[in-house]
Amino acid sequence: MTGQLLRDRIVSFINTALLAPARAPVSAETPLFEHGVLDSLRVLDLIAFVEAEIGRSLPDSAIRLDRFRTAEAIAATALGALVSDRPARDRIWSRTRSRRGAGRAEAMAGVEEEMIGWGRDLGAREVGAAPLIPIAELCRAGYLTSFPGRAVAVPSGLSAEFAVPPAACMHCYADVADSKLDSPLVVFAIRNLCARGDETVDASRGRLRQFTMREIVLLGTGAEVDRARRALMRRAQTYVTRLDLGATIDVATDPFHIPADRGKLALQRLRALKYELRMPVAGEKIAVASFNYHEDYFGRAFGITLPDGSPAHSGCVAFGLERWELALREQLSADAAVTVPRSA
């Protein structure tokens, strides 16, 4: 790709996807930060777009204010990184190369670090894991009504009843219940052991009754939540494309916060409220991540409001870590911690 072509595509993306309709279009030389074109969220969108265009991740050293000042500078930076950078798959796994004899959990560390970085770029606050959640919070979320029999209750001997959380994000909504957000987008990151009671167990395909989820949880206005969700979707797509994992992102057909009603599922698909990242495992494609937009469902359920008093919208990006490990082991190597994959 030539510098002029990439520059023109960057300018077109900024004008069509990032600028408000009333704003004057930018040129290749427009100072993007000085003119208020880029902020912390839009620059994430732009980085994801550029990485998708060149088919590689930009190294941390390339993401500097002076290198993102104009579309011209961004194109030059991106193409310079493309020429000088090591093969993407080698770079991604180089941090595991010295871990001779490392266990599978350590082999996954580099991938999870990438997920953590995506949340950090959005300003995510890490939330401490909690092994149990009060049944009352699941009732408030409508989970017991929507998915009867799926909550895994745990005898506690206490006055309150508890369950293993069915999704890590439930803790985040409960933590900010009955409160007003102070900004258009609030982001949390959480890693938690989860369980669902009626799961069909098939460990070879990642179907587990207990599993580990890492999530990036989004709360704010509908526009900001969905923009962040889509930016994270693009970053995940770029990442798995660079690893040549045969992954696809598709609109999901299963419900995530509503009963399995045919009309509601059709509406979910039409609104594209849930996407799944799927990878091949044991002869079929399994979902290893989901990108969910709940609209104002949890904002209303938990009394979470925006500064103007309206219900907050929410979304979450959830990664099933055991499923990621299965997919990576099958496609990259029997021991990803020892073997660095061939260049794409």
For residue 323 the two structure tokens come to 């499923």
Same domain, 131 and 30: no
Q: How many domains does the chain have?
A: 2
Q: What is the pLDDT of residue 338?
A: 33
255 lies in some domain: yes
343 lies in some domain: no
Same domain, 47 and 7: yes
Which CATH number does the domain housing residue 7 bear? 1.10.1200.10
Residue 172 pLDDT grade (very low, low, confident, very high; cuts 50, 70, 90): very high
Residue 26 pLDDT grade (very low, low, confident, very high; cuts 50, 70, 90): very high
Rg (the chain; Cα; Å): 21
Q: What is the pLDDT of residue 64?
A: 75
Helix 3-13 / helix 40-54 crossing angle, nearest 10 deg? 140
Q: Which of 63, 85, 107 is the last residue of a domain?
A: 85
337 lies in some domain: no
Same domain, 70 and 137: no
The pairing of strands 185-195 and 125-127 is: parallel
The 10s digit of each residue's pLDDT in 281-309 is 888 889 999 999 999 999 999 999 999 99
Q: What is the pLDDT of residue 189?
A: 97
The DSSP call for residue 154 is: E
Same domain, 71 and 185: no
Same domain, 101 and 79: no
Same domain, 18 and 147: no
Residue 14 pLDDT grade (very low, low, confident, very high; cuts 50, 70, 90): very high
Same domain, 69 and 147: no
Residue 185 pLDDT grade (very low, low, confident, very high; cuts 50, 70, 90): very high
321 lies in some domain: yes
Strand-pair partners of 295:
314
For residue 165, how many other CB atoms are within 10 A of its CB? 27
Contact 20, 9 (CB under 8 A): no
* Calpha distance 283→302 (Å, rounded): 41
Q: What is the pLDDT of residue 215?
A: 97
Contact 133, 171 (CB under 8 A): yes
pLDDT surpassing 50 at residue 18: yes
Same domain, 142 and 258: yes
Q: What is the pLDDT of residue 332?
A: 61
CA dihedral (164, 167, 170, 172) positive or negative: positive
28 lies in some domain: yes
Same domain, 166 and 313: yes
336 lies in some domain: no
The residue ranking higher by pLDDT, 236 or 203, is 236
Same domain, 178 and 137: yes
Same domain, 68 and 147: no
Which CATH number does the domain housing residue 299 bear? 3.30.930.10
pLDDT, the chain, mean: 80
Q: What percent of the chain shows pLDDT beyond 90?
A: 41
The residue ranking higher by pLDDT, 322 or 342, is 322
The 10s digit of each residue's pLDDT in 216-274 is 999 999 999 999 999 999 889 888 877 777 888 888 765 554 444 444 444 444 456 88
Q: Which of 31, 63, 85 is the last residue of a domain?
A: 85
143 lies in some domain: yes
Q: What is the pLDDT of residue 117?
A: 92
Q: Which of 85, 105, 135 is the last residue of a domain?
A: 85
Same domain, 176 and 236: yes
pLDDT surpassing 90 at residue 277: yes
Structural domain harbouring 271: 95-331
The 10s digit of each residue's pLDDT in 89-116 is 444 444 333 333 344 556 578 889 989 9
342 lies in some domain: no
What average pLDDT does range 180-198 have in this prediction?
Answer: 93
